[in-house]
Every structure is written in structure tokens, then in C-alpha cells.
Amino acid sequence: MEKKIPKVFANKVEKNAGNNKEVFYSSKEVVKESDDRGPKMIKREKNINQKINDIFNSSRYVYKADVEITLKSGIVSKRIVGKNGNNLITIENELIPISDIIDIKHK
């Protein structure tokens, strides 16, 4: 008892599907411009919240992190212990508003 099953329609692809050089996604790089060798890439700078989260999620952070913070008013060296809403908390119990931070990095 053999049933005949209809064949599946498959449209033929007649053009080259080599568009992977033109279409791509990267969260850390941005296309600046392109030339005959391909697109030129520049690194996208992380925002302040990403940098703070990287510091707290690093293996070097246990309960405190020595950081150098570039504020609107200047550069300060602090030991941060946590983050509370829109502020960083230092070991001296100071609050540093994240909106005032221009850059932050580990010492």
C-alpha cells in the first residue's frame, strides 16, 4: 500500500548569495567607511554603566575596587564598594553621581 506524496516545491536560486561581506552585526565595532579592501572598523567605546558593570563583574572585584574616576571637576582615585541607583558608593561612604562621571577604570 504505497501512497504518492506530492513533491516539495523548491525555487531555484540563480544569483550568488555572497552578501555576508556587506551585512553583519557587531556590538563592539562600527563601520566607519569602506573601500575596495572592505569596510574599515573602529571600536565603539563602552558607556559608563557598562564600564561600571565590568568592574563589579570582574574576577578582581571581591568587595572593593580601586578605580580612577574622571569626573566633570577632575580626576579622583577612590575605592568603590557598590552601586546604588544612580550613585557609586565608596568605602568612605561617599556617594558619587554616575551622571558626573566621564570615565572610570581600574588602577
Which CATH number belongs to the domain containing residue 60 in this structure? 2.30.30
81: pLDDT strictly greater than 90? yes
Residue 1 in domain: no
Residue 62 in domain: yes
Residue 5 in domain: no
Q: Are 75 and 67 in contact (CB under 8 A)?
A: no
Number of domains in the chain: 1
Q: Are 79 and 90 in contact (CB under 8 A)?
A: yes
Q: Are 93 and 64 in contact (CB under 8 A)?
A: no
Look at residue 89 in the predicted model and tell me its pLDDT. Answer: 95
23: pLDDT strictly greater than 70? no
- Residue 82 belongs to what domain range? 48-106
Look at residue 16 in the predicted model and tell me its pLDDT. Answer: 72
Residue 42 in domain: no
Residue 59 in domain: yes
